Amino acid sequence: MAELVDIFVGRQPIFNREVELFAYELLFRSNQVDNKAVILGGDSASANVMLNAFGEIGLSEVVGDKKAFINFTEGLLTPEFQSFFPRKHIVIEVLEDIKVTPSLLHSLKLLKDRGFIIALDDYVFNPELEPLEAFADIIKVDILQVGAQALIQHSAKLRAKGIRLLAEKVETQDQFDYCKKLGFDFFQGYFFAKPKIIQGKRLPANKLAILDLLANVYDPDVDMRKLSETISRDVALSQKLLKFASQSSGGRFQITSIHDAVMRFGLERLKSWSSMLALSGIDDKPMELFVNSLTRAKFCELAGSQLGQFSKDTYFTVGLFSSLDALMDSGMETLLANMKLSKPIELALLKHEGQMGEVLNIVKSLEHGQTNFTLPGDLTATELSSMYLQAMQFSESVLNS
């Protein structure tokens, strides 16, 4: 029996004007002693918070019937992950250092159209961030970082747009009273409560099981029964899926089997869930190894969508598994023999043969600044460089950890 691993989630309450509990902000914590976050990639930290709160400790144990504010980087706001987010239970906090881009605005529009509540975190009234206000239901203002005059001016402007305001870092009665007078709706800070650490336990992640799951959910010919069998073979994955499915259902139905949970989840949510498992960190290996695989996977997918011949999901699988030997501390040929992937995928990974092999060779060359590769199909070097930048941006927050 695998030894259970301790997990932690920081929780700080958010109150309304009557000092009634409105919601909690959930924060990444690495242990129970130091009530602070360690330096970790933003995507990984948020993935850990969500998986621990929703799939391990249990949402009802963490926030009860209240909503959970969770920090999101741009990497996690992309459509690839949106199926994972439980709309009724979370408020998406867009971080203050995020760069406003067309892709970010597109992601926020998709989330807004699906009914998510969106908050802007640590807002400092920067004109460059103003396009985000169109999607914001709540704006969190760090009152210690904003001058009194700016606070008066901008709070009135935002309230006129119908945006609710949340005062962060409230530390005294005078600050609370002042923000109430300015029309703030919600309040958070040490004046009310410091973050509390919620502790739980989970089964350790199995690297091969997660990677095998990823291969199956991204298989263009995916068989849901086979997917259920893949999950059933690993007790940790089975436990995580059943608990998360139970949390997601809100107790509306009884889950009768792993296959029942898989069918209720649906393929898109399973893709998001398995990707979140991987992003949350594979035990005992540096996160950079998986991030490198994810960057390669994204590049291969982008190139594959232009080249055809195989589905873009198959290209994604080739890129994702290209670092499998480093992750598993074993030879690639031995690992692939146990996974029974298609012959074109095996040839691409083992010998860089075929069109998928060419694409994999290109991304490996680009990683080392080399450009002496054969151009596949009608793609130009400029297009391939652009795809590589897009793939790197997808993993940017983790790479900067």
CATH number for the domain including 151? 3.20.20.450
Q: Please compute, for residue 164, the number of CA atoms within 13 A of its CA located in the half-sphere on the CB side.
A: 11
* 393 & 248 share domain: yes
* 216 & 196 share domain: no
CA dihedral 394, 117, 42, 271 (to 10 degrees): -50
Name the region of 309 (left: φ>0; alpha: ψ -120 to 50; beta: rest).
left
pLDDT in tens, 286-308: 656 767 777 888 899 899 888 98
Please give the Cα distance from 245 to 158 (Å, whole number). Answer: 38
Contact status, residue 295 vs residue 391, Cβ threshold 8 Å:
yes
Domains contained in the chain, number: 2
Contact status, residue 312 vs residue 188, Cβ threshold 8 Å:
no
* 120 & 261 share domain: no
| Closest to 43 in 3D by CA, of 295, 222, 384, 263 | 295
Please give the Cα distance from 141 to 125 (Å, whole number). Answer: 9
- Parent domain of 336: 207-399
Residue 312, SS3? Answer: helix
Residue 127, SS3? Answer: helix
Give residue 169's pLDDT.
86
Contact status, residue 188 vs residue 14, Cβ threshold 8 Å:
yes
**Final residue in a domain of this structure, among 200, 233, 257:** 200
Q: What is the pTM of this model?
A: 0.51
Give residue 35's pLDDT.
37
DSSP states of 236-267: HHHHHHHHHHHHHHTTSS---SHHHHHHHH-H
* 193 & 219 share domain: no
Give residue 303's pLDDT.
92
* 180 & 281 share domain: no
Give residue 47's pLDDT.
62
Please give the Cα distance from 185 to 20 (Å, whole number). Answer: 11
The residues of the chain scoring below 70 in pLDDT are 1-9, 28-63, 75, 79-85, 124, 194-208, 211, 215, 219-220, 235, 239, 243-244, 246-256, 276, 278-288, 290, 313, 327-329, 335, 338-341, 395-401
* 333 & 211 share domain: yes
* 214 & 177 share domain: no
**Final residue in a domain of this structure, among 174, 200, 226:** 200
DSSP-assigned beta bridge partners for residue 14: 23
* 216 & 174 share domain: no
Give residue 39's pLDDT.
32
**Final residue in a domain of this structure, among 181, 200, 219:** 200
Give residue 230's pLDDT.
80
Please give the Cα distance from 239 to 70 (Å, whole number). Answer: 24
What does DSSP assign to residue 128?
A: G
DSSP states of 317-383: HHHHGGGHHHHHTS-HHHHHHHHT--HHHHHHHHH--HHHHHHHHHHHHHHTT---SPPPTT--HHH
Give residue 360's pLDDT.
93
Listed in sequence order, the residues at least 6 apart from 100 whose beta carbon sits closer than 8 Å to its beta carbon are 128, 129, 131, 132
Q: Please compute, for residue 78, the number of CA atoms within 13 A of its CA located in the half-sphere on the CB side.
A: 18
* 112 & 74 share domain: yes
Please give the Cα distance from 271 to 253 (Å, whole number). Answer: 22
Please give the Cα distance from 214 to 274 (Å, whole number). Answer: 6
Please give the Cα distance from 397 to 337 (Å, whole number). Answer: 34
Give residue 165's pLDDT.
94
Give the Å distances, CA to CA, from 90 to 3, 67, 86, 111, 282. 31, 5, 6, 12, 25
Give residue 38's pLDDT.
35
* 97 & 239 share domain: no
* 290 & 211 share domain: yes
* 172 & 231 share domain: no
